[in-house]
Structure 1
Amino acid sequence: MQHTNRPVARILQLSDSHLGASRDFRLAGINTYQSFCQVLEALPDRDAVPDLVAVTGDIAGDGDEAAYHLFNQVMAEQPRSFAWLPGNHDNFPLMHQVLHQPFRRVIELGNWVAIFLVSAQPGEVSGQLADAELTELQDLLHRHRDQYVLLFVHHMPVEISCQWLDKHRIANHRQLADLVTKFPGVRALFAGHVHQPFSTSWQGIAVHSTPSTCFQFLPGSDGFELSEQPPGYRWIELYADGQLKTGEGFVAGAGQQVDHRCSGY
């Protein structure tokens, strides 16, 4: 069955902005506030506002309250509905207190449902879905079993051939796989964390990562290494028959240069 030409919903995914305590904050040579704003300005559909912007973690570079206030200021000027989830550099309890937009677990988009998962663990770089998280996901998948489902999460459940990043994948990814494969309505999983676009099939489900809004990691690297790719985002189009289209966009000519002397953060 071919889908119609018009999507029933459009989503833009942003990730890993790593905002600091001030607009002058730099990470790996990049002013992350400036790059975040440049990506927002470059997003498509500024006239035809997308149905959702999904912000998949590491909003802050170090869980600083001032970074979340900056995020509030920027997003208040946007004509777009958005939802967020925490990354390993975020402070989830503080986000609940400071961010003007509350954490939203489920967002319905026509005959589709977007479910936001928390894989970040306090004090840990790698991902893990708590038992309560998996239980809630199972309940939600039962509840929405007659709809098509997208999952959004910070960490990847699969390896991406970057040795140092693959150590951070969701540790209990097998439990996640066993759960989601019981529900044929689950169409795709979208993640952040790895600062690069990547797409694969996992247990029959499409898995995609999105570029960071500040800087990218070098694909295929064994250790921490930065890429020359500019800031980016992912776009997603959903169709009534359960199909979707997705791709990434990059902000060329952003005017910033990564500092390759950076060896981690």
Structure 2
Amino acid sequence: MIVLAHVSDIHIDSEERSVARATQVFDYLNGLPGPLDAILVTGDLADHGLAEEYEKVAKLFSNSPTLLHCPGNHDSRGPYREVLLGEATAETPINQVHRVSGAVFAMCDSSIPGRPDGYLADETLTWLESVLVDAGDAPVFVCFHHPPVALHAHFIDSIRQTGEDRLAALISRYPNVVGILCGHAHTGAATTFAGLPLLVAPGVVSTVMLPCETEEIADLDLPPSIAFHVLDDDRRLTTHYRVVSPRL
């Protein structure tokens, strides 16, 4: 069995609020009495893509031993690479693969520099196929920031990932893919994509509301939320969503 914590959209900026909310989440996760195989953060780590924001992100991540992340539309590839990965500045997609507890995590870059919507570049899809081939029989999680389907939250749907037919055609050829994990929506959601579970992490910095709930796009006062994903020995994927409220 593999147990994952899934966090997204911490949007660290110069204000204390974003840091406090993210710290609340990571303190909760790092204080759990039971083990986690990994913590995944699916994008929008920084709010403006600044080096000083990534310095704060690095500090937040420093106490979590197995932490995997990918960029979102608010991130900037150059500072992201320099501060979080210790790499030279480059504008090519930031794609990373990790093996954790017998599973493979393909952390894909769905960002388009300078734009809020998402797209998996051809080079990212080529890279992803090589990951799927190399994984053999191991279960694979495909992870990125932008949802590749409409979630019926109007603002988010207008800036979702496009070109998704290419991704669907690719992963449909590899039965070892067990789920797709993403963020961007600032609301916990569960649906399907290419016949597989598509699981969206809630937002840490804010919660996007549905049209039936309010005319406002987002609620800044609701507490941050996260997801726990459990992959059992039969490769059945179960998700639990949690609100992380301050401890009294």
TM-score, normalised to structure 1's length?
0.83
1:184 match: 175
Comparing both chains, which one has the higher relative contact order based on Cα–Cα distances under 8 Å and sequence gaps of 6 or more?
1
The 5 A counterparts of 1:114-153 are: 114-153=105-144
Q: Which moved more, 1:198-207 or 1:43-52?
A: 43-52
Q: Which moved more, 1:139-148 or 1:152-161?
A: 139-148
CA distance in 1, matches of 2:75, 2:20: 19
Contact 1:35–1:254 under 8 Å retained in 2: no
1:172 match: 163
1:157 match: 148
Does residue 41 of structure 1 match 2:23?
no
Q: Which runs of 5+ in 1 are unaligned?
A: 1-6, 256-265
Does residue 225 of structure 1 match 2:210?
no
The 5 A counterparts of 1:18-37 are: 18-21=11-14, 25=15, 31-37=17-23
CA distance in 2, matches of 1:223, 1:131: 38
CA distance in 1, matches of 2:199, 2:233: 20
Contact 1:10–1:236 under 8 Å retained in 2: yes
1:225-246 alpha-carbon deviations (Å, 9 max, x no partner)? 1135320111112223212221
1:55 match: 41
The CA RMSD measured in Å over matched residues stands at 2.2
CA distance in 2, matches of 1:122, 1:104: 15
| Number of equivalenced pairs | 240
2:70 match: 85
**Change beyond 3 A, Cα 1:237–1:101:** farther
* Deviation (angstroms), 1:101: 7.0
CA distance in 1, matches of 2:70, 2:166: 20
* Deviation (angstroms), 1:212: 1.2
Does residue 250 of structure 1 match 2:228?
no
2:118 is paired with a residue whose SS is coil
* Deviation (angstroms), 1:38: 0.8
CA distance in 1, matches of 2:240, 2:198: 12
CA distance in 2, matches of 1:105, 1:71: 18
Q: Which runs of 5+ in 2 are unaligned?
A: 88-93
TM-score, normalised to structure 2's length?
0.89
